Chains A and B, each alone.
Chain A
Amino acid sequence: MARSRTGQSSSVPPNRREIEQTRTEAEDAQEFESLFGDSLRAWDAGIDPPPPHLLELEKLVVQHREETGRKLWRELSRLWLIGLLVIGVLFGLLQWNVLAFAVVQVAAIAAAAVFLFLTRKNKEAERRWTN
């Protein structure tokens, strides 16, 4: 189903640049329609995959939810276990040597800062498409 939204505010009159931009967008849309519209619609009409049976889909929903729930509990348990382990080690360290405890804390914070910086940089690189 075709959808058209211009998103233009009606309270402020459009300036010449906006009018030209809208006209160009409309021309582009018209051009695409004339070049590809019929071909795409004809192709669409020929694509008629048999949809899955309703019971199959219900089963999929139930099974996937159960699987997701199990996975979540597994990961939560792992997180708690690791957390308890880390807290236990740090507590032991604190009891043994306060200075060593402080050094470990500072090192952990520095490592976390470096990690955050590096992962943010990687995410930006992943988002950029190469042409």
Chain B
Amino acid sequence: MILNETEASTAIRLAVRGDEKALASLLQANYTVLYRYMLKVTMNKSLAEDLVQETMLKAIERIGTFRAKAKFSTWLISIGTRLYMDEMRRKGRERKWRTDEQALQAIRFEAAMSQEEWPRALDALADLPPDTRVPILLKYYYGYSYEEIAQWLDIPLGTVKSRLHNGLNRLRKELNEDGEKPNGTEQQRTAE
């Protein structure tokens, strides 16, 4: 179900006031965007599914606080990001950030069903630790600002920039070692 701008605006107004149907329609309309984001960030399908569910529950609890200063999808992404980072901290996974290889294999297999091959570039992205992969995706693919990323990850602005810088260096190095060539074509970024 796709909502146009007017419908979304009306649904948000009603949802903030407690209308269950309006909130349900907003969650349905933004489900795919949220799922795609969580899958890219976690590189783990079952974790992504759990976090999408948790994000929606959190959104149900907090809809009264949504001020509509940003898009509803942005708000969901901010909630999902915080939940993922909390999950990483809670499980102590910052020390063991290696992507679950089995989970990644499952994603590669599913992607292969719709694409011709799984690009090496995405393996390089999956190899990044979460605290680097998340800001890189938020900044360079989704186009969020440094300030937004800093707020969602609860880290200083300088740390966001240094992680982006180091992350890109690492990706560049890894792809160059594998002999991967950039496609060289400039294309419009369409993240949502």
Interface residues of chain A, those whose CB is within 8 Å of chain B, are 1-5, 7, 28-49, 51-52, 54, 57-58, 60-62, 64-65, 68, 126-127, 129-130
B16 within 8 A of A: no
B179 within 8 A of A: no
Contact B111 A57 (CB under 8 A): no
Chain B residues, Cβ within 8 Å of A3: 142-144
The contact of A61 among B23, B131, B145, B188, by CB within 8 Å, is B23
The contact of A35 among B57, B94, B121, B192, by CB within 8 Å, is B121
Chain A residues, Cβ within 8 Å of B39: 47
Closest residue on chain B to residue A39 by CB atoms? B119
The contact of B25 among A31, A54, A65, by CB within 8 Å, is A54
B168 shortest CB reach to chain A, Å: 6
A40-B122 contact given A3-B142, A28-B164, A34-B185, CB 8 Å threshold: yes
Chain B residues, Cβ within 8 Å of A43: 40, 111, 115, 122
Chain B residues, Cβ within 8 Å of A68: 60-61
Task: Give the complex CA separation of A28 and B167 in angstroms.
Answer: 11
Contact B32 A2 (CB under 8 A): no
Chain A residues, Cβ within 8 Å of B152: none
Contact A64 B182 (CB under 8 A): no
7 tightest Cβ-Cβ pairs between the two chains A and B: A46-B114, A3-B143, A57-B24, A32-B140, A2-B189, A51-B31, A34-B182
B5 within 8 A of A: no
Contact B24 A58 (CB under 8 A): yes
B65 shortest CB reach to chain A, Å: 14
B35 within 8 A of A: yes
Chain B residues, Cβ within 8 Å of A39: 119, 121-122
Task: Give the complex CA separation of A77 and B23 in angstroms.
Answer: 30
A53 shortest CB reach to chain B, Å: 8
Chain A residues, Cβ within 8 Å of B1: 51, 54
